Amino acid sequence: MTRVSETAEHWFGLCRKQPAIHMVPTGISVQPETGHSSQPDDGGPGRIRKGLCITVSSTKTLIQNPQLLWFALLAGLVLVGHLFIQGILAFFSTTYRSDLIGSPFVAFAVELPTVFCLLVLCAGLVLSLSYDDGNPVSFICGLRRVRKYLVPLAGWSVVVAFVGTLLFTLGLTLASLNVPSWLHALDIYGNLYIFLFNVFSQYPFNWSLNPDVFIAYLHSGVLPGSGSGFPNAFIQTLLFSAINVFLVLLTLFVVPLLVIERKRLREAVFGSFTLTKNIRGELAGCVLGLGLAVFAASLTFLLFQFTGISTVEVSNGITSISTSRPGDAWIALGLLYSLALSGFALIVATIGGIASLDLYRCAKIREETK
């Protein structure tokens, strides 16, 4: 990515146990089965605390139903596919000096299948946590039941992918503009890109994941004109993932309304906004709990900065390594750490999907008791 790379160079600067989630059949009103629903509403702090409790309960649900980890595995494979495509785009953009990543049409073409696959997995998670004739349904069986909802899910995927591409293109355009320095703090895309670029240029990510570093080592520590294909591919995948998570949080109950209540797409979207207003405090508590978990896990990255392995510096399209190659054990450890951190993030996403169903039930109860 030529313009963003130039911009980067310019700036271098707990609670009681909650019962398992029971989803009701279509057309039947939701009954208050959770221990939280009968408690009085004690305002914002109480609702946030309830959201944290829902997060803990969802974690227990995942522990008791490890087959739900299929969701994390399949979602990870979808993101790997997205990463692979981003890597190809970064390669062609660097080799042939074409800005494929900056094209909104290319971005939409990459975003649409990713969003569709993820929404299908979310629908499978929703249906697997429903009860069929009193017997729990496995995630794979729930995924099979998604077939009858593929059309509305495809339509919703187009909407999400379009909005996601619009946000991505807008951020990319703003990051490439020559704006005053005091406006840099408002450029979320550019600042996030620089932060992630610096992180991926350090151990353990550089030596364990970046093929350019090995090539640079074979060339006495310098690889002229290598560009930044590896960081760009990972950064674009993470940025698209962040945008998708943001859009999912804004329209959290669209998928449950589509597959449980079988509403039309338009009704599901407006219904999602209405339900979300009823549980804003609980939603904030869930996001806070899950976000803190991911943030705490990512801080373990700092432990690798005491290994004596210095960073890889990229300046003017030249990748340079200031220290000798670390041992194979260090490289393998870095790779295992990267895989473990990615796996943990996907598990947290699975917990978030489970929690969204309990939030949906709470919102329905609150709506019916008004």
- The pLDDT tens digits of the residues spanning 104-119 come to 898 999 999 999 999 9
Angstrom distance (rounded) from CA 355 to CA 364: 14
Residue 163 lies in a domain: yes
Q: Which of 11-25, 96-110, 344-358 has the highest mean pLDDT?
A: 344-358
Percent with pLDDT over 70 in the chain: 72
Residue 250 lies in a domain: yes
Q: Taking residues 86-103, what's their average pLDDT?
A: 75
Q: Taking residues 71-98, what's their average pLDDT?
A: 86
The answer to whether the CB of 56 falls within 8 A of the CB of 14 is: yes
Please give the pLDDT value at position 308.
60
Residue 258 lies in a domain: yes
Out of 39-43, 103-107, 262-266, least confident range? 39-43
Percent with pLDDT over 90 in the chain: 37
The answer to whether the CB of 309 falls within 8 A of the CB of 323 is: yes
Out of 135-139, 239-243, 323-327, least confident range? 323-327
Q: How far apart are the first and last CA of the chain?
A: 52
Angle between helices 328-368 and 69-95 (to 10 degrees): 120
CA angle 51, 57, 58 (to 5 degrees): 90
Q: What is the pTM of this model?
A: 0.79
The answer to whether the CB of 290 falls within 8 A of the CB of 352 is: yes
Q: Taking residues 170-193, what's their average pLDDT?
A: 74
Please give the pLDDT value at position 367.
79
Please give the pLDDT value at position 291.
93
Provide the domain count of the chain. Answer: 1
Out of 20-24, 59-63, 82-86, 265-269, least confident range? 20-24
Q: Which band of pLDDT confidence, cut at 50, 70 and 90, is reported for residue 130? A: confident
Residue 106 lies in a domain: yes
Q: Which band of pLDDT confidence, cut at 50, 70 and 90, is reported for residue 304? A: confident
Q: Taking residues 123-133, what's their average pLDDT?
A: 80
CB atoms inside a 10 Å sphere around CB 266? 9
Query: Domain containing 354: what range?
Result: 2-11+45-203+213-368
The answer to whether the CB of 129 falls within 8 A of the CB of 21 is: yes
More confident residue, 163 or 186: 163
C-alpha distance from residue 53 to each of 16, 44, 118 (Å): 8, 14, 26
Which residue in 172, 155, 186 sits closest to 251, CA to CA? Answer: 155
Q: Taking residues 324-342, what's their average pLDDT?
A: 84
Out of 186-190, 223-227, 250-254, 354-358, least confident range? 223-227
Please give the pLDDT value at position 33.
39
State yes or no: pLDDT of 32 exceeds 60: no
Residue 107 lies in a domain: yes
Q: What is the mean pLDDT of the chain?
A: 78
| Structure confidence by residue, pLDDT tens digits, 233-249 | 888 899 999 999 999 99
Please give the pLDDT value at position 82.
93
| Structure confidence by residue, pLDDT tens digits, 196-207 | 888 887 778 877
Residue 24 lies in a domain: no
Residue 240 lies in a domain: yes
Residue 23 lies in a domain: no
Out of 188-192, 214-218, 345-349, least confident range? 214-218
